[in-house]
Structure 1
């Protein structure tokens, strides 16, 4: 093609050539000479490298090398779902390859679906619009159709754009020059374009675009973080707190031997709800602004630049005195701050891990940190008498706990408690941390090799999620678990000698039960399935069933 920013299946080399920023996946019969043409030309005009292919011109049964190369060398994929999309095997073949490509990209690629005169339920095969077409394909290619169904279900769950057939839904030509200026100012950096573009979505007043361009020009010399901060500055105070928590503690960092990194989104929501941060709406805003993503496994993902932005914002709260910052993730700084007697009202969250020093948390430390709501501790322990101290902690993650030597510790506001790699035994005083935590919602015990039975948390009647993983000596779960009438999710994984869960039939709110790598317990659950609530999904060794043993589809409610 004449335009060097564009591409078609005829001018792409399978192993070389330029990298495309956007790959368009669409049914030419429906949209080629309408919406897809407009979208393609608009993207090219503002300087974005786009690959567009026409499914009507393809022959054969497999995707050619040129097309595979174009998919592999693209960053963002835009499938345009239309009425006849599913009747094209080529659209489906491309989509399956796209989904696989994104899954293996380590979160560096993304899918942005457009629903053109169809709804997401059509794509998820909940209506006849696509399911009838899939039934036709199934006669010739049953194995391929299984893959296509999974791909459609996953992409159908992603929040995309709904477009109807009228020109008012298309961006106006007047905005092309403004869009070109923004792309140029961002230097073509996909993250910056995505974040800034999200701020202008659905903004029809040209003066707002022009104002944003002026502001971008003013901060450009300061670097990419200042450009991204424009989006942060437009958040409300609660959305900012959630963003900073994710950037400092709930991001996509991988650390050796630390299960609790990359925390579950649902666990964090419990804490933020308790703090009245209104997290569900906040997470939706952060996602729409392209500041965070939620992965398939319900964990947060954030771009490295945005993590750096969050930490920079916290650092600038007070560059000279860490005790006057809201969040402390540097272990040496945090340990130094904890050891001082001065009151530290600003500090809300602390992580201390990776130090060889023996860390002891005392009651005086709690008193000097009245607003501490999040504590992640590696090694170390609690010591002394806490009877005159009331904690504001909502979250404790504790890895490699050492000998617990504290008395009268009351964690009335604790919502999430996670213990990992522990040799604490059944009679350890450490279990006092949760015995009186009446507001506890999430309890996770992983690799707790010292316990033979679960600790007595019968007073935690509000518990909604219980996770027991790789507790090698755990033999029984006592009958008091049946009193946890609000328990929604029970996960048991590779607790090899565990054979029974007493009181299981009393868990009337249970919605999801997962048993993996526990052969004896799996047999017990299977034999007693009729005692489990009717609408509870049971996943034994990766097979998801209901109480009648009927298989159900796995959850695909998160983004690809």
Structure 2
């Protein structure tokens, strides 16, 4: 927010009002001088108006060296400031022609102040840590916004540089063009995970105009091109006259050090000295490499009708086996060894008539498979 620009014009611009409308959480900071600034009060009126129209929007106030009673106009502090604003308004109106007279906004400001003054927030007093308060505010805002964020696994490794590269390519602050970025790379290497993280990074920039669709393939399989077009229709651009630039980003295999770190976070190697565990981890990562990124077995695996051997070993991020696995009618050997997050198998596993060997060692499956 550009304070100086707002002070000069004493008006809130259309863009700022739009930003307020697009926001889900409002954190007004009430200071000693808050009630003497008309642009602050106008913002507050807009916030209060928005939360009255949507249950999803919330105001989380911070009382910065003032008390909630001050904001609720129960003390002289804010009442005095409002009185000064009214005197200033009346004086200016006397200097204007009749057709230029503006109405007094004070009643709206007072209603907004008294409403927000009753909302539980954070009170910062002398001697209290601002850093601790900031941590509390950030934690609360993230809790409130959690339903808007895409679920991303906590144990991410080696993505920071990739996220930075993608954000640089997208350059969301560029106002004269739209950028379409395709992320490509081998299956299971983490393309969707990268997209989820980038989405979460950009969510605050676009507000309610940000959307994530991770089921395009399923939509195509169910509805064909029509279903995909309906999904894309939801993402229609407001400014369709902007230039379109199409870019590509290659998702390369992760570095060995990152792969080793990721494996050791998920692996459970018990009963061996620490040195032996490290050596074993290095051997496994050296063998499996990039496939430590694998987070899911794609539903399309059921189309591999001639597959004889399916070895998904040491993939600690996989949590489920899709029902489509039952379509592998010729599968003879299936290993989920050391896929620690897999806690069950679909009933379609019984359709694997050719299966001779099933390795579920070091998985989360405790019940016998019949």
**TM-score (norm. length: structure 1):** 0.23
**TM-score (norm. length: structure 2):** 0.32
Structure with the largest fraction of helix = 2
Structure with the largest fraction of strand = 1
Higher relative contact order (CA 8 A, sep 6+): 2
